[in-house]
Every structure is written in C-alpha cells, then in structure tokens.
Amino acid sequence: MSSKLLPAPDALVGERLDTALAKMLGISRAKAGDLVQSGNVHLLGRKVHKAAILQAGDLVDLDVPEPERSLEPVSDDMAVAYEDDDVIVVDKPVGVAAHASPGWTGPTVLGTLLDRGVHITELGAQGRRGIVSRLDAGTSGLMLVCKSDLAYRAMRKQFAGHEVVKIYHALVQGNLTEDKATIEAPIGRAKVSDFRFTVTPAGKEAVTHWDVLERFGEATLAKVNLETGRTHQIRVHFSSIGHPLVGDHMYGANPVLAERLGLGRQWLHAMRLEFRHPRTKLWTTVDSTYPTDLASSLQTLRGKALGGGVTVQ
C-alpha cells in the first residue's frame, strides 16, 4: 500500500464522498464506495462513510493498493501506440493473446498491461476487463483496451454499432480476380473443431471489404476493412473464396509457400484503428507498421516477382 493525501477540490465540495472520490480517481461510484467501506479512504479529523458529504478544507487520505500483478507470462516487446487517461492502444506482437483463456499458457495483452501497472477499468467479463475487441494470438497489430469506466461503456457501443474503422493488411494466396470487392457470408463455429470457424447459413452476419494493394502472381496483398468483427473473420472469408491467408494452415494455406517466405503464422496485421474518443468525441486515428517477419516476406516476394510486385492504385 502507498498513501496519498488529496485536498477536497472546490468543484466537488457538497458531493457525497463516494461520488467525489469516483470523479477524483476516474473510477466507478461503486468501486469508490468499496474503497471507503474497506477502510482505504479517510477524511482527516472526522469519521467517514461513503455517504458523507465532502466539505471545504477536507483532506482525503487514500491508501492506494499496489498495482495488480499478473501471474502469467508477459510480453516485453509490446509497444504502446496511443495512450491517455481513458484508452490505451497497443501494437500487439504475434504470440500474445488478448486475455487468458483455457489452454493458453503464453503472454496476454491484459496481463502485460496490469504487470506494467497500467490502470484498467474493472468493467468487463471475468478475466477480460477493459477489453472491447480482440485479436487472435497469431495476428499482430493494433488493439484497444479501456482504462476508464466511461471509455468501456462508450467504446463497447462503438464496436457493437460497427462505428470503429478497423483496417488490416492481409497477404492471401493466389491472384485475386478483382481489385476490390466485398464478402458477405455468415460465420459460425465449425462442427469439425472447437477452434475453427466456417461460412454457414446458421452463422452470424459477417461483412468484409477488401482492396488490392499489390500483386505478386502467387500471392496478393490486400487492405481489409471489417464491417463486422467475427472470430477469424478475415481468415474464414478469404479461405471461403479460395484465397486463404499465406501461412494460415488451419484454413488451407500452402505450407510450402509459407516456409519459402519464412513465415511461422498467418500473414495478417491490424494496421489502423479509427474511433470517436469516448471523452473528447474527437475522431482519433492510430496507425501501425509491419513487424519484421511480415515485412521480410514481402521483400522476398518483391524480389522474386518479375520486375517487382504490381501496385494497384
């Protein structure tokens, strides 16, 4: 425990202690009430309960719990692409899951952030606090986590309403016949495996828009805009049209091509997130760049293609 002594802000004088504390610390009123009830909050010179009224000149004595530490492996190379008091956007490396789950023993985004002492809202499902959208462990790139209760509520609505712009780059096998197109096909869990998904009439609506960025003959680099966010959506949709992601053996990719390009995972990277900031309401854009393994495989393809790849404008 560490102790903080905070003078009562003039703007909060006359408020209930739990309400004032919630505003001072950026936490929920319920969480603030729990801190008071547990004896972690005192008002110097007088007795306190959560319904006590904050008075001018009060000093709030706050015992701050040490940051929650993760017992799971953490990522040492997970970069932060954007952070403020409400949200944090990480550039997730391959091999890092969004959160802990049965059977997963590797590092997670949530565990790594908590281990670094980053404050994450308590809102969310057990073990998934602050998380409003996820990336597969085998997919790298941008992922947003909510630090404040306000952000969690607002960003959950934005993701559910398909308001967030999610741009990926994907390298798919073969030569896509069109320069741009949309795949609309429902996705559900495959009967053959608990881990695989498939296009099925019984699935949930899924919409994927794509534009060709560069052609290599044996593979095509595409920019992908997800209108919905189903599990494995990009992987399943491109596999369903006969163009699985390079390196994605689960969905039918050619292992020989992946080996030749030095890839140990699917070629898929979350390149850009665009969202309305939950507090300021300003449109916010966060960008990423290719990690080393994906950039290297592109260079190999460009070197082998006759005259280099063909870039589509």
What's the CATH code of the domain at 138? 3.30.2350.10
- Mean predicted confidence (pLDDT) in 63-72: 56
Q: 299 and 202: one domain? A: yes
Structure-token match 């030749």, residue found: 260
Q: Are residues 78 and 185 in the same domain?
A: no
Listed residues 105, 136, 160: the one ending a domain: 160
Measured CA angle at 193 (ends 187, 196), to 5 deg: 40
Same domain membership, residue 102 and residue 48: no
**Mean pLDDT, the chain, as a whole number?**
88
Q: What angle do CA 63, 64, 66 make, to 5 degrees?
A: 135
Beta carbons within 8 Å of 308's beta carbon, 6+ residues apart: 302
Q: Is residue 213 predicted with pLDDT exceeding 80? A: yes
More confident residue, 214 or 65: 214
For residue 174, what pLDDT is reported? 97
Q: Give every CB contact of residue 93 below 8 A, 6+ residues apart in sequence.
A: 75, 77, 78, 140, 291
Residue with tokens 């949709």: 237
DSSP 3-state helix, strand, coil percentages of the chain (rounded to 5)? 20, 30, 50
Q: Once rounded to an integer, what is the mean pLDDT over residues 56-74?
A: 67
If asked whether residues 170 and 263 sit together in one domain, one would say yes
Is residue 133 pLDDT above 80, yes or no?
Answer: yes
Minimum mean pLDDT among 65-69, 229-233, 271-275, 295-299: which range?
A: 65-69
Q: Is the pTM of this model over 0.85?
A: no
pLDDT band at 71 (very low <50, low <70, confident <90, very high): low
If asked whether residues 281 and 175 sit together in one domain, one would say yes
Catalytic residue, candidates 34, 61, 63, 136: 136
Q: What is the pLDDT of residue 14?
A: 73
175 and 307, same domain (yes or no):
yes
The band of 70, judged by pLDDT with boundaries at 50, 70 and 90, is: very low
Bridge-based pairing state of the strands 59-64 and 41-43: antiparallel
pLDDT band for position 66 (cuts 50, 70, 90): low
Q: Which of residues 63 and 97 earns the better pLDDT score?
A: 97
pLDDT confidence bin for 98, thresholds 50/70/90: very high
**pLDDT above 90 for 58:** no
Q: Are residues 257 and 169 in the same domain?
A: yes
Q: Is 136 tagged catalytic?
A: yes
Residue 305: closest CA among 223, 224, 239, 220: 220
Q: Which of 2-6, 39-43, 47-51, 53-57 has the lowest mean pLDDT?
A: 2-6
Of 55-69, 169-183, 221-235, the range with the lowest mean pLDDT is: 55-69
Buried b (16+ CB within 10 A) or exposed e, 149-186: bbbbebbbebbeeeebebbbbbbbbbebeeeeeebebb
**What is the predicted pLDDT for the residue at 146?**
97
Same domain, 188 and 234: yes
Q: Which residues contact 1 (CB under 8 A, 6 or more apart)?
A: 63, 64, 65, 66
Q: State whether 208 and 167 are in the same domain.
A: yes
Residue 300 CA to residue 297 CA, distance in Å, equals 5
pLDDT at 235 > cutoff 60: yes
The count of structural domains within the chain is 3
For residues 25 and 147, state if they share a domain. no
pLDDT surpasses 70 at 65:
no
What is the rounded CA–CA span in Å between residue 297 and residue 210?
Answer: 21
Give the pLDDT score at 313: 47
* Structure confidence at residue 243 as a pLDDT band (50, 70, 90): very high
Q: Final residue of a domain: which of 136, 160, 184? A: 160
Distances (CA, A) of 86 to 4, 31, 49: 22, 17, 28
Is the confidence at residue 19, as pLDDT, over 70?
yes
Mean pLDDT of 222-236: 94
Same domain, 168 and 256: yes
Cβ-based burial of 310 (10 A; exposed 0-12, middle 13-18, buried ≥19): middle
| Least confident span in 57-66, 149-158, 204-213, 228-237 | 57-66
Q: At residue 83, does pLDDT exceed 60?
A: yes
- Whether the per-residue pLDDT at 44 is higher than 80: the answer is no
Q: Residues 181, 49: one domain?
A: no
Q: Say which residues have a Cβ less than 8 Å from residue 11's Cβ, sequence separation at least 6.
A: none
Report the distance separating Cα 256 and Cα 120, nearest Å: 42
pLDDT of 69 above 70: no
Instruction: Please check the confidence at residue 159 and state whether its pLDDT lies above 70.
Output: yes
For residue 79, the enclosing domain spans 67-160
Query: What pLDDT, on a 0 to 100 scale, did the predictor assign at position 63?
Result: 72
Give me the residue label for tokens 């292992």: 255
Q: Where are the alpha helices (DSSP H) in the chain?
A: 17-25, 29-37, 109-115, 149-160, 233-240, 255-260, 292-304
End position of a domain, from candidates 40, 64, 88? 64
CATH of residue 46: 3.10.290.10
- CB of 301 within 8 A of CB of 216? yes
